[in-house]
Amino acid sequence: MKYYSTWNDILKNKQISNIQDPIIEMELDKYEFGKIYKEIVCDLQGNDGYFESYIDYYFTVNPLKSFVLSFKGEKEK
Lowest mean pLDDT among 1-5, 9-13, 29-33: 1-5
- Check whether 1 has a pLDDT greater than 90: no
- Coil/strand/helix, residue 38: helix
Arithmetic mean of pLDDT, 45-72: 94
pLDDT of residue 3: 65
- Asked whether 51 and 44 are in contact (CB, 8 A), the reply is no
pLDDT of residue 4: 81
| Total residue count of the chain as it appears in this document | 77
Average pLDDT, the chain: 93
- Asked whether 28 and 19 are in contact (CB, 8 A), the reply is yes
Arithmetic mean of pLDDT, 32-49: 93
Arithmetic mean of pLDDT, 19-48: 95
CA atoms of 20 and 29, how far apart (whole Å): 9
